[in-house]
A and B are shown apart, each in its own frame.
Chain A
Amino acid sequence: MVEKAIKRIYTALLFIFLYAPIGILIIYSFNESKSRGSWGGFTLKWYSELFKDEKIMTSLYYTIAIAIISSIVATIIGTLAAIGIHKMKPISKQIIMNINYLPVLNPDIVTGVALMTLFMFMNLELGFLSMLLAHITFNIPYVVLAVLPKLRQLNKYLSEAAMDLGATPFYAFRKVVLPEIMPGVISGALIAFTLSIDDFVISFFTAGSGVSNLSITIFSMARRGIKPTINALSTIMFLSVLILLLLINKKSLKEAKKK
Chain B
Amino acid sequence: MKRVLKLLVTFVLIISIGMVGTGCGSKNNNKKVLNVYNWGDYIDESVLEEFEKEYGIKVIYDNFATNEEMYIKIKSGGTSYDVAFPSDYMIEKMIKEGLLQKIDYNNIENYKYISDNLKKLDFDPTSEYSVPYFWGTVGILYNKTMVKEPVDSWNILWDSKYKGKILMIDSQRDSIGVALKKLGYSMNSTDPKQLEEAKSELMKQKPLVLSYVGDEGKDMMIGEEAAMSVVWSGDAVYTMSENENLAYAIPKEGTNYWFDSVVIPKTSKHKKEAELFINFLCRPEIAQKNAEYVGYSTPNKETMKKLDPKLVKNKALYPNEELMKNSEVFRDLGDSIKLYDTIWTEVKSK
Contact = CB atoms under 8 A, between A and B. Distances in A.
Chain B interface residue bracket vs A: 35 or more
A35 B222 contact: yes
A173 interface: no
B162 interface: no
B69 interface: yes
Contact of B218 (A35, A209, A211): A35
Interface string A186-220: 00000000000000000011001111100011011
B76 A209 contact: no
Interface in A88-128: 116, 119-120, 125-128
Chain A interface residue bracket vs B: 35 or more
B242 A35 contact: yes
Interface string B194-227: 0000000000000000000011101111110100
B309 interface: no
B42 A209 contact: no
Contact of B60 (A130, A205, A209): A209
B78 interface: yes
Given A35-B222, A38-B223, A223-B215, A127 B27 contact: yes
A51 to B, nearest CB: 15
Contacts of A219: 40, 65
Nearest to A72: B8
A217 B78 contact: no
A231 to B, nearest CB: 13
A99 to B, nearest CB: 26
A58 interface: yes
B63 interface: yes
B71 interface: no
Contact of B63 (A72, A128, A217): A217
Interface of A: 33-38, 54-55, 58, 61, 65, 68-69, 72, 116, 119-120, 125-128, 130, 204-205, 208-212, 216-217, 219-227
Interface of B: 8, 11-12, 15, 18-19, 22-23, 25-27, 35, 37, 39-42, 45, 60-66, 69, 72, 76-81, 214-216, 218-223, 225, 239, 242-243
Shortest 10 CB-CB contacts between residues of A and residues of B = A37-B222, A37-B223, A220-B63, A220-B40, A210-B60, A37-B219, A126-B78, A221-B40, A209-B35, A224-B41
8 contacts: A54-B45, A55-B63, A69-B12, A209-B62, A210-B26, A210-B35, A222-B65, A226-B215
